[in-house]
Amino acid sequence: MTGLHERHLAVSPDWMALYYRQPLELTHGEGRHVWDADGNRYLDFFGGILTTMTAHALPEVTKAVSEQAGRIIHTSTLYLNRPMVELAERIAALSGIPDARVFFTTSGTEANDAALLLATTHRGSNQILAMRNSYHGRSFSAVSITGNRSWSTTSLSPLQTLYVHGGVRSRGPYAELSDERFIEACVADLEDLLGHTRDAAALIAEPVQGVGGFTAPPDGLYAAFREVLDRHGILWISDEVQTGWGRTGDHFWGWQAHASSGPPDILTFAKGIGNGMSVGGVVARADVMNCLDANSISTFGGSPVTMAAGLANLSYLLEHDLQGNARRVGGLLIERLRAVGAGSPAVREVRGRGLMIGIELVKPGTDEADPEAAAAVLEAARAGGLLIGKGGGHNTSVLRIAPPLSLTVAEAEEGADILGEALHAAG
């Protein structure tokens, strides 16, 4: 155990997890690579939990941060803030939500918390519909709507939460159905649920479940849900903390895979937009955003420095068509990983879209999740020079792969090769 690790354990909560038997201290990064305190170089396929979206040490972002910090670092939302207004204008236009208003926070948790406040106030109800296997953050309200037991730390809640089928395609009672029948069954379940409840405020859903192991329903599920929700006046919150900004390749936002229903009433975002800076936020149509009848500000949300980073990062993303790169390079990577997985009896499924890919591991010859194998592959990949993540609703048995969106073809092939070797070495 290193001295820094010992010091960490002495002052940190027991529940604050670290990856690896010998935890890493990452000291610097460039492009899609990072280095640890011992000088080892790694290809980064996790990007600080999908947060380093464009590249490590992206010059355009570091320059914007440095220049803004040299002028003024902090003001709060009590003062006009040009970078905040400019980024809000761009996000409102990109969101697809008509007459959109934007409120900035410092994290995805805080963004989802604000969305829940808006929805429950607007509807006069504390009842929330959420998806099974979901994850929405670590605040008291966000934990209380999280449908993934590994991350739901308390049963106490300010909200009444009801969980809906549909977020996990390949497990559960409807797994064997065709996509069309799967959607029909989930809609019927939602209709039945609403027949036994009072008026709910909102359905909150990740278009692709992140912590849950990069699972997703068939395209069109949330459009079908939306028809039901609209009849009941229930709002739809799309949690785009992990799926936003083009990561899925096919779409800029995850909700667009269900676009026949139009945009959500509320959209939350965070992670990648700041490229490592603390940026989150909520977009909602004006009547929803303006429903609060008391004062509210954000001390750190919309900070001039983080907004400057977000503007520079978003500009780089759009000017270099990183969504298109995620589609092209992600498509190649997932095919390579499926070929790798076909040769391993431990791989149950390789799934995902764009640069958001999950590899689910099971005990060979069974359908039983194998978290020990996932931990072993994580270690073996690190030994081979690759950093990945893990998650999943079945005891963290899913390897999560989400590199910066500027990943090159050569880097995708290198990472797939290392993962193939790691799977072989681990079992």
pLDDT in tens, 309-350: 999 999 999 999 999 999 999 999 999 999 999 999 999 999
Q: What is the mean pLDDT of the chain?
A: 95
| Residue 300: pLDDT over 90 | yes
Q: Are 347 and 341 in contact (CB under 8 A)?
A: yes
Q: Which CATH superfamily is domain 3-58+321-426 in?
A: Aspartate Aminotransferase, domain 1 (3.90.1150.10)
Quick one: pLDDT at residue 323? 98
Question: What does the block give as tokens for 233?
Answer: 């006046």
Domain boundaries, the chain: 3-58+321-426, 62-319
pLDDT band at 140 (very low <50, low <70, confident <90, very high): confident
| Residue 151: pLDDT over 70 | no
Q: What is the pLDDT of residues 153-211, one digit of tens each?
A: 677 778 989 999 999 999 999 999 999 999 999 999 999 999 988 899 999 999 999 99
Q: What is the pLDDT of residues 352-391, one digit of tens each?
A: 999 999 999 999 999 999 999 999 999 999 999 999 999 9
Q: Are 187 and 228 in contact (CB under 8 A)?
A: yes
- Percent of the chain's residues with pLDDT above 70: 98
Q: Are 168 and 174 in contact (CB under 8 A)?
A: no
Indicate the angle between helix axes 304-319 and 59-71, nearest 10 degrees.
Answer: 160
pTM score of the predicted model: 0.95
Q: What is the pLDDT of residues 67-126, one digit of tens each?
A: 999 999 999 999 999 999 999 999 999 999 999 999 999 999 999 999 999 999 999 999
What's the CATH fold of domain 62-319? Aspartate Aminotransferase; domain 2 (3.40.640)
Quick one: pLDDT at residue 153? 67
| Residue 1: pLDDT over 70 | no
